[in-house]
Amino acid sequence: MMAEIPAKERLMLAGERLFARDGIDRVRIRDLNDLAEVRNDSAVHYYFGSRDGLLEAIVVRHMDDIKPRIEEMVTKYCEGREPSKSALRASIGALTVPFAAKLLDDRGRDFMQIMAEVYERRGGLADAQYVPVSEVAKDLVRRSMVGMSEALREERFRLTINFMVSSMGARARAYDADQAFPLDHNTFVVNLVEMGTMACLAALPDGPLFAD
């Protein structure tokens, strides 16, 4: 049955599985070829240029699926709104729900495990053009975090997105390990969005972190 799938697509499938299971840096070309049932040792370089090119192609494919979903949600729930806690929640939700939908199938779960690792690397793919982030949603998040410096707003937003992607990657790994989930999918997503919202709005203490 694998042989009926074109070699390029078989390598994409193999890449999703191995990058997710073994980690981005530990996947060998030989392992990709074996899992994809590709005999030509140069197939990865022929189709993708390199192992990193294959990783990029996987990320771009899934992001191309996510982008229009984000745009649709931002248009419906964020455009034209004044900054507020509920507007911030809507923005975080619009940026999160399309990613979370990837948790509902095998390939999507592989992708989220890959992205959890990618997002840990500042200066990597997560900071490049492959990440679909709506400027409308980001602006609404920033304006809703009142009373904060620009540096603090940017750091809050970056850490919040990283936390949420990491949480989805952890859920994908738990699914693959057949672990029981305390929350169903919808409750998991709602809780994640609410935690992200409150993380963005948390006030810094006026005094020292630990009082005497």
| pLDDT tens digit sequence for 158-199 | 889 889 999 999 999 999 888 888 899 999 999 999 999 999
Q: Is 14 contained in some domain?
A: no
**Structural domain tally of the chain?**
1
Q: Is residue 146 part of a domain?
A: yes
Report percent pLDDT > 90 for the chain. 74
Instruction: Assess if residue 197 is contained within a domain.
Output: yes
**Is residue 71 included in any domain, yes or no?**
yes
pTM of the model: 0.90
**Residue 23 counted as domain residue:** no
Could you tell me the pLDDT band of residue 9, with boundaries at 50, 70 and 90? very high
**Domain span holding position 182:** 60-201
Is 178 domain-assigned? yes
pLDDT tens digits along 55-113: 999 999 999 999 999 999 999 999 999 999 999 999 999 999 999 999 999 999 999 99
Q: Report yes or no on 7 lying in a domain.
A: no
If you write DSSP's letter for every residue of the chain in order, what string do you get?
-GGGS-HHHHHHHHHHHHHHHH-GGG--HHHHHHHHT---TTHHHHHHSSHHHHHHHHHHHHHHHHHHHHHHHHHHHTTTPPPSHHHHHHHHHHHHHHHHGGGGSHHHHHHHHHHHHHHTSTTSGGGSTTS---HHHHHHHHHHSTT--HHHHHHHHHHHHHHHHHHHHHHHHHHHTTPPPSS-HHHHHHHHHHHHHHHHHPPPPSS-SS--
Classify residue 66: in a domain, yes or no.
yes
